[in-house]
Amino acid sequence: MNTVIASITFRQMLSRRRALLLFLLPALLLFLSIGLRVSGHSDLDNATMLLTQFGLGALLPLLALLAGTGVIAPEIDDGQIMYIMTKPIARPVISTTKFAVAVVLVVAFGVVPIFVSGIIMTGLTAGLATGFAIGALVAGIAYCALFIAIAVLSRFAVTIGLIYALVWENLIARYASGAKTLSIRQWGISVTDLVTDATAVKAGVGTSTAVPLLIVVTVAGVAYAGWKLRTLSITGTE
Amino acid sequence: MSVLEIRDVSRWYGNVVAVNGITMTIGPGVTGLLGPNGAGKSTLIHMMGGFLSPSSGQVSIDGQRIWKNPSVYRHIGLVPERETAYDFLTGRQFVRAMAKLHRLPNPEAAAERALGMVEMVEPADRTVGTYSKGMKQRVKMASALVHDPPVLLLDEPFNGMDPRQRLHLMDLIRKMAAEGRTVLFSSHILEEVERLAHHIEVVVAGRHAASGDFRAIRRLMTDRPHMFVVRSSDDRRLAAALIADPSTRGVELTSGGLEVEAVDFRRFSLLLPQLARQADIRLWEVAPADESLESVFSYLVAS
């Protein structure tokens, strides 16, 4: 970890226009959960549906995509990363710091709002809010690792990430049960299921599969990003 | 005193060869890396800056390999061509951050010293995004100088600068060299290189075309045969008058006018108007046919 790189990255992430999305998505979740609460529909089933479909299904992967790619991809694109890379700092330190920043952003704008949304709807009943918060945390970490690895690998990281989150996880994994095994979202739900007593939470993947895969994706993603950054070529404008 | 060594370096992208078997040694003082756009200058600088691996050959500084060796950045300061430099930070924050990344014992003092060197202390509290091109170039320079490196690499530093900013940066580069640094800058403009560098390396189409004292290379460039297109009120008579003088080696009468090959540039340029006046011929157009940098360079390569 390098605090200078971290603070520059934070400022960069929060000063961009697309940082607005970081605020908008969680605001929408909180708005919807307040709506359910006020209208008297905030039972465990509805809360589970909102947190699964919108919280883990949309908010979390999109935030992680914004954060995971945003902490490094634009800097590689515009060559600004040169200023960090021309320092006597091991390259894996750079990528690990970027990863840590992405995780902090996902926690602040994804995990915390998911927890608060759970509390608003169901209080501490059945450990639903805590379960979703922990599920979102582990899934968010894995998403960030995956997206940062894609960001140093390809210029089309955002597109690839969107295809994974929207097409693979939301479409293919819904109909093909085998595809669920390779869905970070499902791994997150599996961890949520482990923590909460609510029967409405139904995991498509067992914890014995989900937890090792979460660890593998996280470790592999961070390690790959560091390795790739060591040999990252920046070509000129000619 | 540091020396950059490029030994038999090639770099290709798929089937495209960007740099082809270049060997050069760059020592203290100002060295200009000259070549037309797309000649491979940036590729070379990127390899010297450790952003690109040579496909073959070795790039080193004082015997240490540069690629995959971040410790060399203690000795190298790099000013990239692209303008973006954390536009949301102030100049001072930017240079300080770079000093901290170098883990300097006193980053604040180092940043102030570097800002002072480039005369950017006063606007240092404005954000980089509000700077003019010249100021951005200077603050980038300060960030590259903050750890007092013996080697400074500048990629097209004068691009987009106005004449005043250009002069200022030239003074600064001269000062850096006078302090014993090894300074390399790339440019596609002969006049810039000529005014600044005693030593130049010419790269054309990925190949090392010439190396040495700029005067010698400049002479090669001006002494070469020059091609002109001349249109006049009487091309045939003018052709006869021109070919009678030894400064002209060949004249071709074409539908678009005369194509003249002059071997003595100075003599030819003085002679042409005199001859025209004596023979009462009006000159409509005199244009160099091969003055583009590319043709100058290809002449160098051929010789």
Q: Looking at residues A178-192, what average pLDDT do you find?
A: 93
Question: Looking at the whole model, is its pTM more than 0.90?
Answer: no
> Quick check: B51 pLDDT over 80?
yes
Q: What does A36-96 look like in DSSP terms, one character per residue?
A: HHHTT---HHHHHHHIIIIIIIIIHHHHHHHHHHHTTHHHHHTSTTHHHHTSSS-HHHHHH
Question: Cβ contact (<8 Å) for A236 and B70?
Answer: no
B121 CB within 8 Å of a chain A CB: no
| Res B183: pLDDT | 95
* Alpha-carbon span B44 to B155, nearest angstrom: 10
Asked if the Cβ–Cβ distance from A5 to B101 is below 8 Å, we say yes
Percentage of residues in chain A having pLDDT higher than 90? 73
For B37, which of A80, A230, A238 is closest by C-beta distance? A238
What local confidence, expressed as pLDDT, does residue B300 receive?
65
Best of A15, A71, A87 to disrupt the B interface by mutation (most B CBs within 10 Å)?
A: A87
d(CA B203, CA A178): 57
pLDDT of residue B139: 93
Do A236 and B155 count as a contact with CB atoms less than 8 A apart?
A: yes
pLDDT for position A237: 43
Terminal-to-terminal C-alpha distance of chain A = 34
Reported confidence tier of residue B219, pLDDT bands at 50, 70, 90:
low
Residue B82 pLDDT level (bands cut at 50, 70, 90): confident
Most confident region among B80-89, B121-130, B164-173, B282-291 by mean pLDDT? B121-130
**Mean predicted confidence (pLDDT) in A155-171:** 91
Tell me if residue A131 falls in helix, strand or coil: helix
Q: How far apart are CA A84 and CA B61, in angstroms?
A: 20
Q: What are the tens digits of pLDDT across the range A144-155?
A: 999 999 999 998
pLDDT over 50 at B269, yes or no: yes
| pLDDT interval class at A238 (50, 70, 90) | very low
Lowest mean pLDDT across A174-183, B66-75, B93-102: A174-183
Lowest model confidence (mean pLDDT) among B187-191, B218-222, B272-276: B218-222
CATH (residue range B224-302): 3.30.70.920
Give the range among B4-8, B14-18, B154-158, B293-297 with minimum mean pLDDT: B293-297
Q: Name the CATH topology of B4-221.
A: Rossmann fold (3.40.50)
- pLDDT greater than 90 at residue B100: yes
Nearest-by-CA chain A residue for B93? A8
Count CB pairs under 8 A between chains A and B.
88
Q: Annotate A49-77 with b (16+ C-beta within 10 A) or e (fewer).
A: ebbbebbbbbbbbbbbbbbbbbbbbbbbe
* Mean pLDDT computed over every residue of chain B: 88
Report the residue of B48, B83, B84 to disrupt the A interface, i.e. the one with the largest count of A CBs within 10 Å.
B84
Residue B167 has pLDDT above 80, yes or no: yes
Higher pLDDT, A133 or A233: A133
Residue B94 has pLDDT above 80, yes or no: yes
Which chain A residues touch B77 with a CB distance below 8 Å?
86
Regarding predicted confidence, which is higher, B223 or B264? Answer: B264
pLDDT in the model for residue A163: 94
Q: How confident is the model at residue A176 (pLDDT cuts 50, 70, 90)?
A: confident
pLDDT in tens, A45-68: 999 999 999 999 999 999 999 999
B287: distance to nearest CA of chain A, Å?
A: 29
Residues A124-131: what's their mean pLDDT? 93
Q: Which residues contact A113 (CB under 8 A, 6 or more apart)?
A: A26, A29, A30, A59
User: What ipTM is given for this predicted complex?
Assistant: 0.87
Over pLDDT 70: what percentage of chain A? Answer: 98
Q: B15 CB near a chain A CB, below 8 Å?
A: no
Contact B88/A11, CB-based, under 8 Å? yes
Q: What is the pLDDT of residues A94-117, one digit of tens each?
A: 999 999 999 999 999 999 999 999
Q: What is the pLDDT of residues A194-210, one digit of tens each?
A: 999 888 888 889 999 99
Give the gap in angstroms from C-alpha A59 to the nearest C-alpha of chain B. Answer: 28
Residue by residue, DSSP assigns B126-152 as SBGGGS-HHHHHHHHHHHHHTT--SEE
- A86 with B71: Cβ contact below 8 A: no
Instruction: Return the bridge partners of B201, or none.
Output: B33, B211
- The residue-averaged pLDDT of B269-288 equals 90
Domain segments of chain B: what residues? 4-221, 224-302
Question: B150 CB contacts (<8 Å, ≥6 apart)?
Answer: B1, B2, B75, B180, B181, B182
pLDDT at B159: 82
- Report the pLDDT averaged over residues B112-129: 93
> Within an 8 Å CB–CB cutoff, is residue B41 touching chain A?
yes
**Confidence at residue B298, expressed as pLDDT on a 0 to 100 scale:** 63
**By the CB < 8 Å criterion, does B101 face chain A?**
yes
Backbone angles phi, psi at B12, to 5 degrees: -130, 150
